[in-house]
Copies of this chain bind each other. A is one copy, B any other.
């Protein structure tokens, strides 16, 4: 854990440049004006020594942190990966580095990992909560660190939030399924403790209710991993009556559904329709291509970052909850079955919003 190597400090630079440490600091941070000649001497000393400032020490003294924290359920999930990638480039543009930790979807870990984040005294944190309990919020606000939540509405916690219009978009997709003649819809959620899952289910039920009755919705809590979800879906497909449409409410569920449908020998869209959340490239290279909800993940990340920067900058206004709009890529997997009046030849990737 120790390195005996001794890096040059600001004092090394100062003495080589024959100025005070304060002057070095002022040159490097462009804070007070410094005579060009001294500045040049400092710069060349920095080059010569390969000096790299210690931002930990800087933060300690100045009480200004150039690090932000990000807490997500799983770094390896492509949805969160895309979120983090956008967040990182946004952070870099403003001179922040990003300390990333993952909770594994476990609220206990959420607290533990947030505490670990806070030991580095980030200027703020962006959190995708595990579920409504959102224990990270208490910890961070007790520490006076600004928090912005993303993707999931954490219960009724009064926190800044950026998420999407889950209910609305799920309703639109469901209307599309109903228009194609589907009447027994299986909604595949991860866990209903996650707010966006509940909102998506609500949208499905809204569409069915608005239609006036003959359709049924069944919600399956299928778990967090691919294996769990596939097993739950497969078990349900083996039971009677078989649904005539599957709507998977997250990216893992969509993949699991495709796999389970194929394993059950059900063909889309003839035997069953499929729609899923979180568009990904593979969904339009398969045959039939998969109808999917496109969440604007880059925009979510950008909006969360912008909000966090405002809070870090001292914004004390009431928490704001933003909902961004999703689009839907209608593709072959969710078309009407042949023989249904709404049937038509599949047109690839006709985006609707």
- Please list the residues of chain A having a beta carbon within 8 angstroms of any beta carbon in chain B: 1-3, 5-7, 50, 52-57, 59-60, 63-67, 74-78, 81-82, 84-86, 88-89, 92, 97-102, 113, 115-121, 123, 139, 142-146, 226, 255, 258-259, 262, 280-282, 284-287, 312-314
Contacts and interface: CB of A to CB of B under 8 A. Distances in A.
| Interface residues of A, dominant DSSP | mixed
Contact of A143 (B50, B66, B120): B50
B123 A1 contact: yes
Nearest to A98: B100
A76 B139 CA distance: 28
A7 B139 CA distance: 12
Nearest to A284: B259
Nearest to A1: B64
Contacts of A86: 76
B63 A312 contact: no
B63 A60 contact: no
A352 to B, nearest CB: 22
Contacts of A5: 143-145
A308 to B, nearest CB: 11
B64 A2 contact: yes
Contacts of A56: 56-57, 59-60, 120-121
6 contacts: A1-B123, A7-B143, A97-B117, A255-B281, A255-B285, A286-B287
Given A50-B139, A97-B120, A262-B285, 5 more contacts: A1-B312, A3-B144, A50-B142, A56-B57, A75-B85
